[in-house]
Amino acid sequence: MKNPYEVLGIKEGASIEEIKAAYKEQVKKYHPDLHQDNPLYELAQEKLQEINEAYDYLMKNAGRGGGSYGSSNNAYSGNQSRQSPEFRQVRIDIDRGNLKAAEEALERSSNRGAEWYFLKGMLFLRKGWYDEAVSHVQTAVSMDPGNMEYRMAMNSIIQASSGYRTTAYGRGYSNMNDELCRMLQCYCCADLLCDCI
């Protein structure tokens, strides 16, 4: 699965305004109507669907840090006794969106236990790399199956990534049989392109 931030061409942790601006720019660039009677028409359709999926996902998760670590960490503070002091700052950095510092600290650590895999998974989640996040958190769960923080985070990630994958199926410009649907799509695109409606 592609990183939704990369699809829109923005930095991770971008503001809602930046996400909207990038979305409008990408729609202008890849709108299939611009590529009619062109061999790139189908490619533009696919790209626009990918852009719509990324935008829907980021907007749905706006204000939650992309379905992020913060919610799972705070919900399971009862597991703090199992948390290593070595990784306390990593958790804080991930919560604050300081992903570079968190990643550097994890890479320096020689302690590659369950908590390391969990935090690496949370880091990937904040980056929007859901397959990697699932893989690392699954490893943490298998290493420490009794840890509810890891289990609940795993469930949240799976739900979020399945929502991302299924959110926009059937949308876009491939099923244009319904006239009302076509009119609404044109209206939305016109609104996005010129802000005049």
Helix ranges (H only) for the chain are 4-8, 16-30, 41-60, 69-75, 88-96, 99-108, 114-127, 130-143, 148-167, 179-194
- Most confident listed range (30-34, 67-71, 176-180, 183-187): 30-34
- Res. 69: pLDDT tops 70: no
Domain extent, residue 4, equals 1-197
Compute the average pLDDT of residues 57-80: 49
6-15, 87-96, 188-197: segment of lowest average pLDDT: 188-197
- Res. 134: pLDDT tops 80: yes
- Res. 73: pLDDT tops 50: no
CA 121 → CA 60, 68, 102, 115, 161, distances in Å? 21, 11, 12, 10, 13
**CA 164/CA 65 separation, integer angstroms:** 15
CB atoms within 10 A of CB 7: 21
Better-predicted residue by pLDDT, 119 or 60: 119
**CA 68/CA 60 separation, integer angstroms:** 12
Angle in degrees, CA 68, 167, 50, rounded to 5: 90
What is the tally of structural domains in the chain? 1
